[in-house]
Amino acid sequence: MNLLLTGQHVDVSPALRAYVEEKLERVIRHFDQIIDIAVVLGVEQPSEKDKRQRAEVNLRVKGNVFHLDHYAEDLYAAIDGLVDKLDRQVLKHKGKIQAHQNEPIKHMSNMSSEL
């Protein structure tokens, strides 16, 4: 798995990088078939004064790409909100994959003929 961490109008410090990696471990622990993750941290223009910090992610898995973003007053809060959203999406995707793998097609066709 590759992790690309960039900043727009923000310097990505080693502490910030470590925080993002630590938070993404939860997502990786739930779903290990991740190809790559691209995280963009940024500061928006002053027009939105209350929520200026932005965290955005593109997570690529086999057959799907998740694009999420989250805005907050603090960059660390934006990262936390982003990882929460991403974790829910990944668990939902994992559930769909497992549901499709558990029901063979031949069993589904037998059940429909019995009804």
List, in order of start, the domains of the chain with CATH numbers.
Answer: 2-114 (3.30.160.100)
Averaged pLDDT for residues 42-54: 77
Residue that is written with structure tokens 């066709």 in the block: 109
Residue that is written with structure tokens 């973003």 in the block: 69
Quote the pTM value. 0.79
Averaged pLDDT for residues 47-73: 86
Nearest to residue 39, comparing CAs of 64, 62, 63, 12? 12
Report the chain's terminal Cα–Cα distance, integer Å: 46
92: Cα within 13 Å, side-chain hemisphere: 8
Give me the residues paired with residue 114 across strands.
none
CA quadruple 62, 67, 70, 75: dihedral sign:
positive
> How do residues 86-101 score in pLDDT, each as one tens digit?
999 999 998 888 877 6
